[in-house]
A = this chain, B = another copy of it.
Amino acid sequence: MPPSKILVTQGGGPTAVINQSMVGVVLEARRQAGVSAVYGARHGVRGILNEDFVDLAQETSHNLELVAQTPSSALGSTRDKPDAAYCHKIFQVLQAHGITHFFNIGGNDSSDSTRIISEEAAAANYPLRCIHIPKTIDNDLVLNDHTPGFASAARFVAQAFAGANLDNAALPGVYVGVVMGRHAGFLTAASALGKKFPDDGPHLIYLPERVFELERFLADVKTMFDRHGRCVIAVSEGIHDASGQPIAAQLAKDLERDAHGNVQLSGNGALADLLCEEIKSRLGIKRVRGDTFGYLQRSFIGCVSDVDQREAREVGEKAVQFAFHGAGGRSSGSVAIKRTGTYSVDYELLPLADVAGKTRVMEDEFISPCGTHVTDAFRLYLRPLLGSGMPDAFRLRPNAVPKILNRG
């Protein structure tokens, strides 16, 4: 058998644990007999196009372990979404370098380009094994219990809302936190795990799985504000009206701003600011504050789930094991996480076509009937993923001192 040559890439938005998967591939590949090269491509598939490879056989195990614990993509990433022509060029480079095993760590787009490259190789009768390794903070890959990277981002969101709730309790008002997730609300829903006491926020959660109606939103906020004297709200950046139009675009239009010009409607603070303005002007509430979690939620260093780290490492390691020792005779595929207990997981290799380019959204059983909160099923689903050492919030108990002056 000719020696094997390994190539690993990282694509799409970085996560806190994507380097665990890369290091899982590298260390496991270096253990395999007959491996003559372990390369990484710089900045994902673009790095393949440019033949921009780094020799990972020359990296120390010690540094690899430290890189594994560092968030974001150590090889660099890309937003390129390869079409068939792009994939063909990529395949030519893989062929020139004699790559036998291609490991692509990424989300939906990456799974799809892995599939196309795999098909290119088959058509050319070139023996290339293509393994997609799951990664996305959006948790929107089908047939996976969850995806590496989601748990750490979810932990950030839960901790952020736990803190925002305490802040809002100290200085009451309305707080709007906008969370990433265009189509799937998992990350926004994670805000519910920041709630401890019955009157804690988030009091309302708006997900892209449900149609957003401004009038109902304002009524919901008023109800909660009247009940608690304050209101903490989690909003997905992907909320939209019944026609599918993003709410940010709709509000910007209502305010007679140029929605197509300078004002970008995502990746900035527009949605939070626009919702806050509606609450202020329509409900007459004075103290209204909005935060857009932006890049903090996926890149913050020092807020990571140990469960997420372990599983991200394992999907990388398993990818190599599947590639070298087969998985039901499948030569290519997508590694998927299956939940086998409370809490334990195992991994399997699915056909690329079963995962590629498909989007999972939150299951109905995870969303409360009112549509503005999550169910216990979701809490039970998410809690073990957040890992150990979750910070907890405590309160003083009420022991009121009788009034003397009582001037009210």
Contacts and interface: CB of A to CB of B under 8 A. Distances in A.
Given A51-B406, A399-B54, A407-B51, A296 B160 contact: yes
A40 interface: yes
B269 A269 contact: yes
A299 interface: yes
Contacts of A303: 159, 302-303
A93 B403 CA distance: 10
Interface residues of A, number: 91
Contacts of A39: 401
B75 A396 contact: yes
B267 A269 contact: no
A372 interface: no
B269 A14 contact: no
Contact of A40 (B55, B166, B272, B396): B396
Given A269-B272, A295-B289, A394-B66, A169 B76 contact: yes
A119 interface: no
Given A159-B300, A301-B166, A394 B70 contact: yes
Contacts of A171: 13-14, 76-79
A5 B63 CA distance: 59
A166 B299 CA distance: 7
A313 B276 CA distance: 36
Given A159-B302, A290-B269, A298-B167, A404 B59 contact: no
A262 B296 CA distance: 27
Contact of A96 (B58, B78, B269, B405): B405
Contacts of A263: 273, 277
A163 B301 contact: yes
A67 interface: yes
A395 interface: yes
A400 to B, nearest CB: 6
6 contacts: A70-B393, A159-B303, A163-B301, A167-B299, A194-B301, A270-B273
Q: What 6 A-B pairs come out closest when comparing CB atoms?
A: A269-B269, A72-B166, A163-B299, A291-B294, A53-B401, A66-B394
Given A67-B395, A159-B302, A164-B295, 17 more contacts: A14-B171, A52-B400, A54-B399, A59-B396, A63-B394, A77-B170, A97-B404, A159-B300, A160-B296, A162-B301, A262-B281, A263-B277, A268-B276, A269-B292, A270-B273, A289-B295, A293-B296
